[in-house]
């Protein structure tokens, strides 16, 4: 079996904030989807949402769902969640909100305490997701390498080798 790595970037019109660094929002490898850490930024403005950790966590949730939507996936498809928090005094409050994001069994999770995050955020979350049964590529959209990137910047590769 020859797997193809597909990296996908999304737009604010798709509900995903613009990238604050050089990365793809999601990379698909077979039936796995790796979603870049989402920040609590408003897709329309790129600005950090006000209101503290819980408001920021809800924005991160919304941004993650926007990254999953083109793949027909939801947070219930998450296999592994990695959470970064800048203030562990709000750990239990975050956990209370986090539990409501899932309708079934909770995925594996790591929660990391850190002194700072990009854009001054209080929380960042990335995911590894098991995708539902195969979707036609037309439902996901074209990977980055097929949307006008020069060949030297192609994000799709064969057999795990960078193109």
The domain spanning residue 14 has which CATH number?
A: 3.30.1330.40
Q: What is the pTM of this model?
A: 0.82
Domain membership of residue 15 as a residue range: 4-158
User: ∠ CA 72-74-77 to the nearest 5 degrees?
Assistant: 100
Instruction: Give the C-alpha separation, 55 to 60, whole Å.
Output: 9
CA 21: distance to chain centroid? 14
Two tokens at 148? 């006008």
* 9 in any annotated domain: yes
The count of structural domains within the chain is: 1
Per-residue model confidence (pLDDT) at position 151? 31
pLDDT tens for 35-75 read: 999 999 999 999 999 999 999 999 999 999 999 999 999 99
Report yes or no on 163 lying in a domain: no
Cβ atoms within 10 Å, residue 33? 25
pLDDT tens digits along 80-125: 999 999 999 999 999 999 999 999 999 999 999 999 999 999 999 9
Q: Is residue 54 part of a domain?
A: yes
pLDDT at residue 4 is higher than 80: yes
- How much is the pLDDT for 161? 33
Residue 51 located in a structural domain: yes
User: How far does CA 111 lie from the centroid of its chain?
Assistant: 16
């Amino acid at each position: 079996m020859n797997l193809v790595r597909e990296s996908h970037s999304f737009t604010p019109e798709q509900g995903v904030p613009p990238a604050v660094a050089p990365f793809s929002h999601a990379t698909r490898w077979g039936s796995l989807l790796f979603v870049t850490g989402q920040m609590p930024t408003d897709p329309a403005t790129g600005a950090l949402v006000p209101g503290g950790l819980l408001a920021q966590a809800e924005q991160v949730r919304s941004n993650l769902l926007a990254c999953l939507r083109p793949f027909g996936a939801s947070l219930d498809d998450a296999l592994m969640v990695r959470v970064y928090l800048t203030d562990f005094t709000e750990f239990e409050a975050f956990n209370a909100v986090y539990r409501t994001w899932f309708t079934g069994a909770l995925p594996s999770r790591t929660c990391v305490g850190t002194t700072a995050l990009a854009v001054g955020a209080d929380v960042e979350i990335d995911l590894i997701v098991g995708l539902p049964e195969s979707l036609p590529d037309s439902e996901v959209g074209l990977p980055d390498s097929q949307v006008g990137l020069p060949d030297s910047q192609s994000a799709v590769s064969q057999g795990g080798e960078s193109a």
